[in-house]
Amino acid sequence: MSEKILTDEEFIELWRTLKSASAISRKLGIQERAVHARRRRIEGRHAIKLEAKDPKGELWTHRQTAHEHAARHHLGIENGTVIVFSDAHFWPGIRTTAFKGLLWAIKELKPKAVINGGDAFDGAAISRFPRVGWDSKPSVIEELKACEMYLGEIDDEAKRAYSKAKLIWALGNHDARFENRLANTVPEFMHVGGFKLKDHFPAWIPCWSCWPTEDVVVKHRMRGGIHATHNNTINSGKSIVTGHLHSLKVTPFSDYNGERFGVDTGTLAEPNGPQFVDYLEDNPTNWRSGFAVLTFHNSRLLWPELVHAMAPDLIQFRGQVINVGKL
């Protein structure tokens, strides 16, 4: 018997008989990780919980479901603007040009939704990577306070510009550090208030992916490498907007299905900021600071636009240089 040919119903029956990922792994001759992944997919599709009898299986469940949010959030945009920023890696005391440009764009463009494409929270103090020398990093509470302040400003500006503006957070790998650390070290506290990242940001709707329309998806990451935007839209079959790589670029792609886009939203942080300088060892990076503007007409995505932080307090957008120093 092979996991690849099991139907969902067969897998559910097998799980309820053995109630153990390790037992199913041995029976099917596949990796235990693959069993857990299949289990999670089936739980999501069928809205059921496949209970495990072994402690290891339960620990995996805590780790993977700690976020407790919908995988997808649909916006149903027909006409209007959506602004997408990502990789802010908010740091106490640092107000970047791209962040000020974001506030300007929200005020000017009055978007129907502002999507945080992930990694607003950096989690430097709880990174799995070792400390670099004697570097100084903000504590978790200091980072949370910085995120609350900056995301609060975005919230306020968005609601002033358009009272019904939606605020969506497509979670990133750095954001996941917060709950993953807690879920793996103190799983007994799973339902305690404040132990989920969303508890601290109630205005923002968390998800893994946000769909402005059925043909456009916004998520933190998909493929990696220099050709990620190209490969993302080919492999997803959709226009796809991602962060993670800090590149800030638009890649068009056309085939028999028409035209679509791969978009990298860059970083809201400064590429040479303190979040990155030590582990990059002061090496050059192919990163750019800015964000993306998506415009929809009759549910069709027009050519995506980028806002680029070109110099301190200066952004460029639609052929103009705009001073955002007073924001």
Round the average pLDDT of the chain to a whole number and report it. 90
User: Looking at the predicted structure, is the pLDDT value of residue 64 above 50?
Assistant: no
pLDDT of residue 55: 46
The full length of the chain comes to 327
Measured at the alpha carbon of residue 305, what is the angle toward residues 304 and 309, in degrees to the nearest 5?
Answer: 145
User: Looking at the predicted structure, is the pLDDT value of residue 3 above 50?
Assistant: no
The pLDDT confidence band at residue 41, using thresholds 50, 70 and 90, is confident
Choose the weakest-confidence range: 31-45, 205-219, 304-318: 31-45
pLDDT of residue 46: 75
pLDDT of residue 67: 46
pLDDT of residue 60: 44
Strands 239-242 and 258-264, bridge-based pairing = parallel
pLDDT of residue 53: 64
User: Tokens 């800030």 correspond to what residue?
Assistant: 248
Task: Dig out the tokens for 252 from the structure.
Answer: 């068009």
User: Looking at the predicted structure, is the pLDDT value of residue 76 above 50?
Assistant: yes
pLDDT of residue 308: 98
Strands 239-242 and 290-297, bridge-based pairing = unpaired
Q: Mean pLDDT over residues 236-242, rounded?
A: 97
Choose the weakest-confidence range: 51-60, 117-126, 193-202: 51-60
Identify the residue with better confidence: 80 or 68.
Answer: 80
Say how many Å lie between the first and final Cα of the chain, rounded. 62
Tell me what percent of the residues of the chain surpass a pLDDT of 90.
69
pLDDT of residue 84: 98
User: Looking at the predicted structure, is the pLDDT value of residue 78 above 50?
Assistant: yes
Identify the residue with better confidence: 208 or 15.
Answer: 208
pLDDT of residue 30: 83
User: Looking at the predicted structure, is the pLDDT value of residue 4 above 70?
Assistant: no
User: Looking at the predicted structure, is the pLDDT value of residue 57 above 50?
Assistant: no
The pLDDT confidence band at residue 282, using thresholds 50, 70 and 90, is confident
- The helix-helix angle for 8-18 and 32-46 (nearest 10°) equals 110
